[in-house]
Amino acid sequence: MNEKKLNFDSSCPAPINKYDKIMLAHGGGGLLSNKLIQEVFFSEFDNKYLNKMHDGAVFQTEKGKMAFSTDSFVVQPVFFPGGNIGELAVYGTVNDLACCGAVPKYLSLGFILEEGFAISDLQKIVKSIKFAADKAGVQIVTGDTKVVEKGKGDKIFINTSGVGFVKNEVNISPDNCKSGDKIIVSGTIADHGICIMSLRAGLEFETEIVSDTAPLNHLVREILSVSDKINVLRDPTRGGLASTLNEIAASSGRGIMLYEKEIPVKEDVKGVCEILGLDPLYVANEGKLLVFVAEEDAEKVLETMRKNEFGKDAAIIGEVTGSDDKIVRIKTSVGTTRIVDMISGEQLPRIC
């Protein structure tokens, strides 16, 4: 493994051992996920695209710059307030492409269905996929369907992959963040994860928390048209804001400072977080954008975001410090500063 790769230093769990078995936490988006990805996948597939740890790959072809991304969705339950696995699958890949600075164009759909799954439910999901694709302005151009025996799957898993095109002058990448960059989030955090966890905990009748699943590509197009000083774009999904920021800090070699009181969190989301003992910084979002932009353009980008339906609660929540310690810190509401680590284990399995 080369030096460019992530380094989560002292808090890293022990290296993967050949007697180890896959644990839920290997899919949680935290430290164990990163271990698996680096020790099992990257050690074999070492190449410049993967090593960027981006949401997708951007490559120069003789025909221009393209982005390509993939995501599998195993969310449980399949239907939830604000959406279902179908919209999630479309917006997930659309957003990954948008965070590469691409205009998403074409999507593929791969279904793994469990024997016995109701076709009426499949039809509902397919309608949501169509709705979401239209809303994002992408086309479903190819697909595949597999069926596994009852008890060998869980209702429905969906893979979406997508391609998009990147303007030559756009250069967005997690290792691009620069000292002094302002960090903007497009709205309230933790909505999706708390929506799903409330459902599982049986709290859904006491709250009105809905998933934030949404397409971010139009928002990205708008901010790229007003500023050429946007360096990093990411949607903080699995592992939440904390994990995403730790990844960016590690891959860029920068330190990050957050301001707790600026981070938008809905009151009822805060409430459920307290009941369930969760920190919203680590909870998944499915329709939120993180923007790293040079200070001089930050206000302009913020204003542009607030005019978009998916950015109306946008806020500047932190900045890239002058340090090269790769640590994410937060200035708390009470004025103290603490380190925001990457999560080690599994907080919310099958959140997306």
Q: Which of residues 36-55 bind a copy of itself (CB under 8 A)?
A: 36-37, 40-41, 44-45, 47, 49-50, 54
DSSP code of 14? Answer: P
Does 310 participate in binding a copy of itself (rule CB under 8 A)?
no
The pair of structure tokens assigned to 101 is 């600075």
Q: What is d(CA 47, CA 41) in angstroms, rounded to the nearest whole number?
A: 11
In the sheet that holds 290-293, the strands lie side by side as 230-234, 290-293, 182-185, 315-320, 256-259, 328-331, 337-339
The span of 108-116, 196-204, 217-225, 244-252 binding a copy of itself (CB under 8 A) equals 108-116
104: cis peptide before it, omega within 30°?
no
Which residues are bridge partners to 61 per DSSP?
64
Which residue's CB is nearer to a copy of itself, number 64 or number 338?
64
Which residue's CB is nearer to a copy of itself, number 20 or number 299?
20
DSSP code of 261? Answer: G
Query: What residues between 312 and 351 interact with a copy of itself by CB under 8 A?
Result: 349-350
The span of 56-64, 190-198, 243-251, 276-284 binding a copy of itself (CB under 8 A) equals 56-64
In terms of C-beta density within 10 A (0-12 exposed, 13-18 middle, 19 or more buried), how is residue 121 classed? Answer: middle
Q: What is d(CA 293, CA 87) in angstroms, rounded to the nearest whole number?
A: 29
Which residues are bridge partners to 229 per DSSP?
none
CB of 146: closest distance to a copy of itself in angstroms? 5
Does 157 participate in binding a copy of itself (rule CB under 8 A)?
yes
Query: What residues between 128 and 147 interact with a copy of itself by CB under 8 A?
Result: 129-130, 133, 139-147
CB of 169: closest distance to a copy of itself in angstroms? 16
| Number of CB atoms found within 10 A of residue 347's CB | 24
Which residue's CB is nearer to a copy of itself, number 23 or number 339?
23
Element (H, E) at 319: strand 315-320
Among 127, 261, 312, 338, binds a copy of itself (CB under 8 A): 127
CB of 284: closest distance to a copy of itself in angstroms? 13
CB of 311: closest distance to a copy of itself in angstroms? 26
